[in-house]
Amino acid sequence: MYKIYPFGEYSHGLLGMKESISAVFKIPIEYSFQFIEYLATKNRVRGHDLCPCGSKKKIRLCHFELLKEIINSEKKIIYENVYNEMRKSKWKK
């Protein structure tokens, strides 16, 4: 089902995905969906937006470099796929 997956093996479906995202990006698990949503749906990073990691800081003071790097690379498609899988799940929040 997942031909390319950035977070390695996971065995608990969506919860595992959220746990992996939380671990990889060092963000609270409850913000993992909105973090991936930002990566998947934005075409550029706006530094004055609040960071989707839930820190309540502006992006430019928080995950700016990481978000920019992913959004400007071919890795973005991976996060679009992950986001679509998460949206399909009933545990999306």
Query: How far is Cα 40 from Cα 49, in angstroms, rounded to an integer?
Result: 16
**Out of 36, 39, 45, 62, the residue judged to bind Zn ion by CB under 5 A:** 62
How far is Cα of residue 21 from the mean position of the Cα atoms in its chain? 6
User: Which positions from 36 to 55 touch Zn ion by CB under 5 A, shown as an x/- string?
Assistant: ---------------x-x-x
Interface with Zn ion, residue 18, by CB under 5 A: no
The nearest distance, CB 62 to Zn ion, in angstroms, is: 3
Interface with Zn ion, residue 32, by CB under 5 A: no
CA distances from 53 to 7, 12, 32 (A): 17, 22, 7
Identify residue 68 by its one-letter amino acid code: K
Question: Which residues form the interface with Zn ion (CB under 5 A)?
Answer: 51, 53, 55, 62-63
